[in-house]
Amino acid sequence: MTRRLARPAHWLAIAAIAIVLAATATGTISAHAVATATRTALIVQPQSAAAMTAATALPLKGKIVGIDPGHNGLNKDYPAYLAQQVWNGREWEDCDTTGTQTDWAHTFTEALFNWHVASYLKADLVKDGAKVVMTRPSNKGHGPCVNKRSFIINGAHANVAVDIHADGAYCAGCRGFALLEPVADGPNDKVIHSSRTFGADIKGAMLAVKKMPVSNYDGTNGVSYRDDLAGLNLTKVPKILIEVGNMKNATDARLLASATFQQQVARALLNAIIKFLK
Structure pTM?
Answer: 0.82
CA separation for the pair 201, 69 (Å, rounded): 19
Helix (H) or strand (E) holding 179: strand 178-182
Question: Do residues 201 and 269 make contact, with C-beta atoms less than 8 angstroms apart?
Answer: no
Sign for the pseudo-dihedral over CA of 248, 249, 251, 255 = negative
**Residue 121 zone, left/alpha/beta (φ > 0; ψ -120 to 50; rest):** alpha
Taking residues 73-85, report their average pLDDT. Answer: 98
In the predicted structure, residue 39 carries a pLDDT above the cut 70: no
Residue 57: which pLDDT band, with cuts at 50, 70 and 90? confident
Mean pLDDT of the chain: 88
- Tell me how far CA of residue 143 lies from CA of 30, 99, 111, in angstroms: 73, 12, 11
Taking residues 85-108, report their average pLDDT. Answer: 97
- pLDDT score of 85: 98
- pLDDT score of 53: 56
Residue range 175-204, pLDDT digits in tens: 999 999 999 999 999 999 999 999 999 999
In the predicted structure, residue 18 carries a pLDDT above the cut 80: no
In the predicted structure, residue 4 carries a pLDDT above the cut 50: no
193 φ/ψ angles, rounded to the nearest 5 degrees: -65, -45
